[in-house]
Structure formats: structure tokens, C-alpha cells
Amino acid sequence: MPKQIVEIVMPQLAESLVNATIDRWLKEPGDPVDMYEPICELITDKVNAELPSTVRGKLVKILAGAGEVVNVGSPIALVETEAEASSAAAKPQAPAAVADLPAQTASRPAVTAPVAAFDPDAPMRARFSPAVQKLAAENGVDLSRVAGSGLGGRITRKDVLDAVNAGNRGHDAPVFPTAAVAAAPALVTEPARLPVVEVDEGQAAATGREYAIDVTPIRNTIAKNMRQSVNEIPHAWTMVEVDLTHLVGLRSKLKDDFKKQEGINLTFMPFLLKAIVGAIKEYPLMNSVWAVDKIIVKRDINLSLAVGTEDSVLTPVIRNADQKTITGLAHEISQLANKTREGKLKLSDMQGGTFTVNNTGTFGSVLSYPIINYPQAAILTFEAIVKRPVVIGDMIGIRSMVNLCLSFDHRILDGIICGRFHQKVKEILEGFNQDTKLY
């Protein structure tokens, strides 16, 4: 049966996405690939996702390494497949031999069956990915003097790093002699690690010790989104304190039975979300986005819930939160938190949020200034519940108090509406008592 090479291209993961970052490859050149089997993990500004193969065959070559940003529609891998079984969406090219492709790893045997390959004269060398351009700029590397080992002579991150290690700053000949290009590895399969500068004991006292930590693709995405939020949105901030003494008593009374009946813990978060939903209903402008010449108010109340992992913070969405009971919200919170920490979130879990809530009190924080989850209009943090003396009338009592911190987009919202919204959330939270229904 004749063989051919087909491209796996970066798909349109969501309507608003124009590119994605390769996080890591799940397959290596030479590995068999089944239809719909995940071959790599992607990171977008929304969520992590696995990319399934569109064909069945054998992975021949990886075209985009870990950490590289790839535009929608651009090829990321080549798969050898039966000519009759190729995907209709794949793009077979002119016949050639796999041996003509640059070697991926020395440990993989050469494939000699006739397959399709790219036109070797294709103008790939001048196409630099954003990751390559950034790395070259940071290290002062002249890309015109770097010989690319990628497809069609395309320059990869490894080529730039090899240029840095070789001392190439644009004044010497290309790092790779022409004869060596075909044998050069075409891909860095792990994020590039910067060299760690060590100092001796005599220098340590004066300069201190330091080490470098790689900026992961998801951390880079978080940095980009936070920078965009701060640069574009004029943040304003306010805080109120809330007496949760009655709610603390209610939770203590119900939590054991709730655990037995529902199989999950009863936390304070579903009560907070219920209060936020009630306040948004009275002040719907809190549930909006800025659109330059108009303000778009969202009818659906979809609450983004900030969930931290070891290396990132993601914001899965509880859709139509206003239609859920306290118990329903508790289950949504538990499910989304578990999916986030297990890395099982889908793009659909992250889309459509209209207002963000963050439980910073988990870490003992009593006051914070949150950054708005762009392009939403506001974000609220729930701080630690602390017992402290409070003046009640002319008496002093020990109460369970919490601070609610609100950052808002001052283009959309002003102090008066945010103050009223804040007071409404406070009123609802302080109104929970032994008669509150969870269902």
C-alpha cells in the first residue's frame, strides 16, 4: 500500500482564538498514532487542551516545539499514513522520501517507504515563531546568521539556543555548517532551560545565590492576560467587612449531615455565590463588559471561580448561577475545583464568565487588591474569616468577621453603584440564619 505524509495543523479551538502554545508532546517521532488519539497538549489564553490526531499512522516529524506559539491553520506535525486512509482535512504534498526530511532523533530508524513531503524550496526559513523572535531578541541573536534545522530551513528555539551557546551574536558565520544541517535535531521537546550561574563561597556573601526558573507557557499566558487587564482597565477598589457569625453557626450545624447526604464538604463559597447572584440581579451593570462605544450587559450570570494549582490560577465558570440552589452551587464548585486540579478542564468550562470570585481567605489573607479578569467589569475576593471584637450598639462582642474586596472597571462602574452592590452582598450574607434552606 503506498504511503504518504499528511499535515496535522493547529485547529480553531474557539471562535476568538487565533493561536495556541504547544505545552508538551505526548508522542515522539516513530510512535504509532491512532485516529483521535491525543498527540500533544496545548495552552491557550482560556485553558489547557489535548490535540487529537486527525489521521491514523506513524508520527514522522514534529514541526513546533514545546513553548512555541502556533497560529491557527499552521502545521505542527507530519504523520505517515496509508494513502487511502488519509483524512480529508489533511493536506498531502508532492511525493518524496522520508529520508529527505531532517532527522528528529538519532535513536529513531530511518523510514524509507515513499511518502509525500513539503516542497524543499518552500519559504519557511524566514517564518519565525513569536517564541523564536522573542528568544533571539533577548539574547541579541541575528536570525539571518542562524542556520535553521526545522522544516524548509525554519529556525527553531533550539537553533537560537545553540547560537547563544556558541557565542553567535550576528558577527560570525552560521552556527550550523551547511553539511550539518540535515543531521541537526529539529526540535526542543522540553522547555529550554537557562544556564544557572553559580558563585563561589567567597562571592556568595556579597552577591547572594540565585537560580533561574523557566517561564512555562501557562505562566506566560497568565502574565499576558494580567498585563492586558492592568494596561487597559482603570482599576478602582473598595472593601467592606461582613459579620458572618450567623452563617458560621449555620454551617457548623449542617456540615456533617450535608457531607453524608451529598458526599462533598459544605464550605462558605456557595453562600457567597448565592449572595453575589442576588446582588447582581439588583445591580445588573456589575455583570457587563466595556465595548468602546457601548457597555454590554450580560443577561446570563456566569460566575468565574478562581482555582489555584501548583503553578497557575485558572477560572472555570459556573453557568447560570442564578438558577442554582446553595446545594447546586456547592456541587458545581466541587466539580470544577477537582477538574482544575486534575488537569481535566475543557475549553467550554472556561468560557462565558461574566463576574469573577476568588477565595483568597483560604491562604489566610485578610485584605487583597485583585486584578480584574479581563474583559469582565469586576472581581470580588472573599478573605479569611477572623474572630475579633466588634462594637454592637454600646456593647463589645466577639464576632466572626470577613472582608470582601472588590476591584471594578471605572469606565463602567462608579463608587455609588459598587457601594450599593457591596452592601447588598453584605446584607444577604448577614441574613443567612438557621432557617436558611440549602435546596
Task: Give the pairing of strands 288-290 and 295-297.
Answer: antiparallel
Last residue of a domain, one of 70, 91, 116: 116
Residue 211 inside a domain? The answer is no
- If asked whether residues 158 and 241 sit together in one domain, one would say no
- If asked whether residues 266 and 408 sit together in one domain, one would say yes
Domain range enclosing 352: 233-431
pLDDT, greater one: 230 or 88:
230
Mean pLDDT, to the nearest integer, of 183-188?
A: 34
- If asked whether residues 240 and 383 sit together in one domain, one would say yes
Catalytic, 410? Answer yes
- If asked whether residues 12 and 145 sit together in one domain, one would say no
Residue 266 inside a domain? The answer is yes
Q: Which segment of 38-42, 49-53, 151-155, 301-305 scores lowest on mean pLDDT?
A: 151-155
Percent of the chain at pLDDT exceeding 70: 77
Residue 409 inside a domain? The answer is yes
- If asked whether residues 376 and 316 sit together in one domain, one would say yes
Catalytic residue among 293, 410, 422, 435: 410
Identify the CATH number of the domain in which residue 70 sits: 2.40.50.100
Confidence tier at 47 by pLDDT (50, 70, 90): low
- If asked whether residues 366 and 261 sit together in one domain, one would say yes
Confidence tier at 18 by pLDDT (50, 70, 90): confident
Residue 29 inside a domain? The answer is yes
- If asked whether residues 63 and 153 sit together in one domain, one would say no
Mean pLDDT, to the nearest integer, of 210-234?
A: 87
Instruction: Compute the residue count for the chain.
Output: 439
Catalytic, 235? Answer no
Residue 121 inside a domain? The answer is no
Q: Does 42 have pLDDT greater than 70?
A: yes
Percent of the chain at pLDDT exceeding 90: 50
- If asked whether residues 178 and 239 sit together in one domain, one would say no
Mean pLDDT value across the chain: 80
- If asked whether residues 242 and 267 sit together in one domain, one would say yes
- If asked whether residues 390 and 300 sit together in one domain, one would say yes
Last residue of a domain, one of 78, 93, 116: 116
Write out pLDDT tens, residues 98-150. Answer: 334 443 333 333 333 333 343 443 444 455 665 677 677 778 888 778 887 76
- If asked whether residues 20 and 88 sit together in one domain, one would say yes
Q: What does each C-alpha distance from 73 to 8, 90, 94, 131 come to in angstroms?
A: 9, 11, 19, 17
Q: Looking at residue 208, what is its pLDDT?
A: 63
Mean pLDDT, to the nearest integer, of 61-83?
A: 90
Q: What does each C-alpha distance from 372 to 225, 351, 409 come to in angstroms?
A: 10, 16, 8
Residue 437 inside a domain? The answer is no
Count up the domains in the chain and report the number: 3
Identify the CATH number of the domain in which residue 381 sits: 3.30.559.10
Residue 426 inside a domain? The answer is yes
- If asked whether residues 111 and 138 sit together in one domain, one would say no
CA distance 334 to 315: 13
Last residue of a domain, one of 68, 83, 116: 116
Residue 196 inside a domain? The answer is no
Write out pLDDT tens, residues 386-419. Answer: 999 999 889 999 999 999 999 999 999 999 999 9
Catalytic residue among 349, 414, 422, 435: 414
Q: Does 39 have pLDDT greater than 90?
A: yes
Q: Does 365 have pLDDT greater than 80?
A: yes
